[in-house]
Amino acid sequence: MPETVVNTETVAEVQPRRSEWKRFRRVFFQRKVAIFALIIICIMIFTAVFAPWLAPYDPNEQNLSNSMAPPSREHLLGTDRLGIDTFSRLIWGARTALIVGFATAFISAAIGTALGMIAGYFGGVISTVIMRFMDALMGFPMIVLALLLAGVLGSGMQNIIIALTVASVPGYVRLMYGMTLSVKENDYILAQRSIGSSSARTIWKHIFPNALQPMIVMLTSALGGIIMAESGLSFLGVGITAPDVAWGSMVADGFKYLQTYPILSFAPGVCIMLVVFSFNILGDSLRDALDPRLRGTL
């Protein structure tokens, strides 16, 4: 008899998970634009991972005798003023965008989630200090704050990741702070406290799982903004520098040739637009599929 009870409970636990997964697939994959966005992101990830094998030329190999060459069989998108193959630079630019995007998103999500849950759970002076500091950071638009930090830290991939991470953390803190406040007064949380469960265990076991879905949605949506911000900083000359390749710097390099040779700026500009659009659409689709109640709230 005890075995029968255990098996029945197990089936009862598994069945809702299956129905949730079926609902997720139905809602997500019925949106054709979400499938298109997912395909674009998969292509970008594949391109970034296999850039050394996909790029026909070294992204920094100069050939001044072949500068500003038009598109041809040897150079699919032509060359720039230094004779560097544009197509190869586009491929390596995808790797740079993904490294900066994912590193910034995951680091800022980890820091912001921890600070937000700590502020929401403990309250008092801890909450006041954390949230007032976040309010001060949020007084600046993300790109402006990142620009100020990049100006202090200097250019380069590592410094840009740090600058964008600091600028991205407040959003996660506020999200997790609100989620923690809404969850911590539930009966099962109060029951955990009454039996002497530690604060760390309560946060990790009961509060964090409830905040996971909106955090995933926010992280996915934020990737587009991070890549756009990195491209903007590189366009202004305070972002990614050689030997790393960035789409933003490619747009800036080709800006003076817009009328005579527009592909130098047009090609990386289209890549930025497609990737940012795809991550935004993917984030919206995940939000609707994971929890329709979150629609329009993130």
Helix (H), strand (E), coil (C) string for the chain: CHHHHHHHHHHHHHHHHHHHHHHHHHHHHCCHHHHHHHHHHHHHHHHHHCHHHHCCCCCCCCCHHHCCCCCCCCCCCCECCCCCEHHHHHHHHHHHHHHHHHHHHHHHHHHHHHHHHHHHHHCHHHHHHHHHHHHHHHCCCHHHHHHHHHHHHCCCHHHHHHHHHHHHHHHHHHHHHHHHHHHCCCHHHHHHHHCCCCHHHHHHHHHHHHHHHHHHHHHHHHHHHHHHHHHHHHHHCCCCCCCCCCHHHHHHHHHHHCCCCCHHHHHHHHHHHHHHHHHHHHHHHHHHHHCHHHCCCC
Please say if the pLDDT value at position 131 is more than 90: yes
Please say if the pLDDT value at position 179 is more than 50: yes
What are the tokens at 201? 């265990």
Residue 203 domain-assigned (yes or no): yes
Residues 39-51 have pLDDT tens digits of 999 999 999 999 9
Cα four-point dihedral sign 237, 239, 240, 242: positive
- Mean pLDDT throughout 140-168? 92
Percent of the chain with pLDDT over 70: 88
- Mean pLDDT throughout 270-282? 94
In this prediction, residue 222 carries a pLDDT of 92
Please give the Cα distance from 150 to 145 (Å, whole number): 9
- Mean pLDDT throughout 224-235? 93
**In which residue are the tokens 């005579």 written?**
260
Residues 136-148 have pLDDT tens digits of 999 888 889 999 9
Confidence of residue 16 (pLDDT cuts 50, 70, 90): low
Residues 72-114 have pLDDT tens digits of 888 999 999 899 999 999 999 999 999 999 999 999 999 999 9
Q: Look up the domain containing 93 and give its range.
A: 36-60+82-294
Side-chain-facing half-sphere of 66: CA atoms under 13 Å: 14
Residue 27 domain-assigned (yes or no): no
Residue 195 domain-assigned (yes or no): yes
Please say if the pLDDT value at position 27 is more than 60: yes
Cα four-point dihedral sign 263, 264, 270, 273: negative
What are the tokens at 272? 């930025």
Peptide bond into 243 cis (omega under 30): yes
Residue 71 domain-assigned (yes or no): no
Residue 139: give its domain's CATH number. 1.10.3720.10
Can you state the angle between helices 208-236 and 247-254, rounded to 10 degrees? 30
Residue 198 domain-assigned (yes or no): yes
Q: How many domains does the chain have?
A: 1
In this prediction, residue 293 carries a pLDDT of 55
In this prediction, residue 176 carries a pLDDT of 92
Give the global pTM. 0.84
Please give the Cα distance from 90 to 77 (Å, whole number): 10
- Please give the residue that has the higher pLDDT: either 209 or 57: 57
Within 10 angstroms of residue 204's Cβ, the number of other Cβ atoms is 12
**In which residue are the tokens 């637009």 written?**
273
- Mean pLDDT throughout 140-161? 91
Name the region of 225 (left: φ>0; alpha: ψ -120 to 50; beta: rest): alpha
Residue 23 domain-assigned (yes or no): no
- Please give the residue that has the higher pLDDT: either 189 or 247: 247
Please say if the pLDDT value at position 37 is more than 70: yes
Cα four-point dihedral sign 160, 161, 165, 168: positive
Percent of the chain with pLDDT over 90: 51
What spatial distance separates the first Cα and last Cα of the chain, rounded to whole Å? 47
Residue 165 domain-assigned (yes or no): yes
Residue 67 domain-assigned (yes or no): no
In this prediction, residue 17 carries a pLDDT of 56
In this prediction, residue 92 carries a pLDDT of 96
In this prediction, residue 101 carries a pLDDT of 95
